[in-house]
Structure 1
Amino acid sequence: MTCHSSENTESIPEERRAEPESRREERERRRAEPEPEPELGEQDGVAAAMRDLKNTGWYWGRLTANEAKEILQDASEGTFLVRDSSQRDYLFTISAMTSAGPTNLRIEYKEGKFKLDSVVLVKPKLKQFDSVVHLVEHYVQLSRTSCKSGSAPLAPPNGTVQLLLTTPVYTAIPSLQHLCRIAINKTTRHVQELPLPNRLKDYLTDYAYNV
């Protein structure tokens, strides 16, 4: 899929849904091996990303691709979740429902930044983010804007499908406080200026995202 933003054109490819049995076996074997440790200089960024992810309610941790597929099977297009990647070279993966069924998109982490995995020629065009949640938030806003305007592009001729991220799948029913926090973050980025107790402001700024 190609998604258009006001700053540039971003390509969000679809992973292949069908793969040889040998490749699946190899992937499962690698999954059983220990995950690679980030470089010492990158650990703080990963730790901060994990804190944000655990606050979202839609981070599922060590979920397999098949388990994610089952969760998304009857969901509407644009429904998504984030899980640990099954591949050793990646930390996280977005699993989402497309018009052609569930698919997976890896998140690349390099030099303290997160971005969507893509083909080499497209990578320089993809935005980079300080956190996984910030990355997801960006593409959710992009997808929702495209849906509202009716300007979402058609599937390109190379066989990939349009990928939208609009509705997260929560691991459990989120608290009313968390939902209110998201609603407030959708309307303002200036929480400190709101006429609220400092304790409540701290709670709002602890998760400064709107998804």
Structure 2
Amino acid sequence: MTCQSSESADTIEGERRSDSNATTDESRIALAMKDLRNTEILQDAAEGTFLVRDSSQRDYLFTISAMTSAGPTNLRIEYKHGKFKLDSVVLVKPKLKQFDSVVHLVEHYVQLSRTGLKSPPSSQLPANSTVQLLLTKPVYTTTPPLQHLCRVAINRTTRRVQDLPLPNRLKDYLTDYVYNV
């Protein structure tokens, strides 16, 4: 049995494409709204405030959104050959340090920001100057449990958790997350 339609195959295909484009447009708008919400979180934050989020770009898994002297900015995190590193211009890319995890990457740049020299205030920078990235204060979408915050504080203080006079179960909890951020 065959059916005849007054619509041509081209018309039907065109409608499918416009439905597909509408879906693409909707997803792009949704991603743009998500990025705007992340930027709003940082809008009144101090320089160095940052958050790690899913990347809206297909080629990258994560993005660091950070408040700089020039305003909120986004840094893509690249994943290649089992390692994470910040995305950068081609000339600098080979010089960037690579990490086994995103948390190690963030921890490294937080440590650099805390110990490195600060740039002059943005009002003293020339108009064509680059902006220094500082990662000093993470923003959380939800407040971490007090238990976790205590674990981070202990891990900042000592790397010898096994020597502490604590029950083994608590030592195991402390060593499950050995990062300083």
TM-score range, shorter chain: 0.7 to 0.9
2:147 match = 177
Q: Give distance in 1, aligned partners of 2:26 and 2:76.
A: 15
Q: Which has the higher contact order (CA 8 A, sep 6+)?
A: 1
The residue number in structure 1 matching 2:4 is none
Structure 1 runs of 4+ with >6 Å offset? none
Match of 1:122 in 2: 92
The separation in 2 between residues aligned to 1:127 and 1:204, in whole angstroms, is 27
Q: Structure 2: give runs of 5+ residues left out of the alignment.
A: 1-20
1:41 counterpart residue number: none
SS in 1 for 2:65: strand
- Whether contact under 8 Å (1:81, 1:168) holds in the other structure is yes
Which of the two has greater helix per residue? 2
**Map of 2:133 onto structure 1:** 163
How many Å apart are 1:29 and its aligned residue? 4.0
Structure 1 position 123, deviation (Å): 0.9
- Pair member with larger Rg: 2
Contact 1:31 1:86 in 2 (8 A): no
Give the SS at the match of 1:64: helix
Where does 1:29-68 land on structure 2 (aligned, <5 Å)? Answer: 29=24, 32=27, 64-68=34-38
CA distance in 2, matches of 1:156, 1:122: 22
Give, as a single letter, the amino acid of the residue that structure 1 aligns with 2:60: Y
1:51-200 equivalences in 2 (<5 Å)? 64-146=34-116, 151-153=117-119, 159-200=129-170
Q: CA deviation at 1:153?
A: 3.9
Q: CA deviation at 1:171?
A: 1.4
Amino acid at match of 1:142: L
1:188 deviation in Å? 1.4
1:35-93 per-position Cα deviation (integer Å, ceiling 9, x unaligned): xxxxxxxxxxxxxxxxxxxxxxxxxxxx8321110110011110000000010000000
Q: Show structure 1 runs of 5+ residues with no match.
A: 1-25, 34-62
CA distance in 1, matches of 2:172, 2:36: 38
Query: For residues 31 and 204 of structure 1, do their structure 2 counterparts lie closer, same or farther at Cα, with a shift above 3 Å needed?
Result: farther
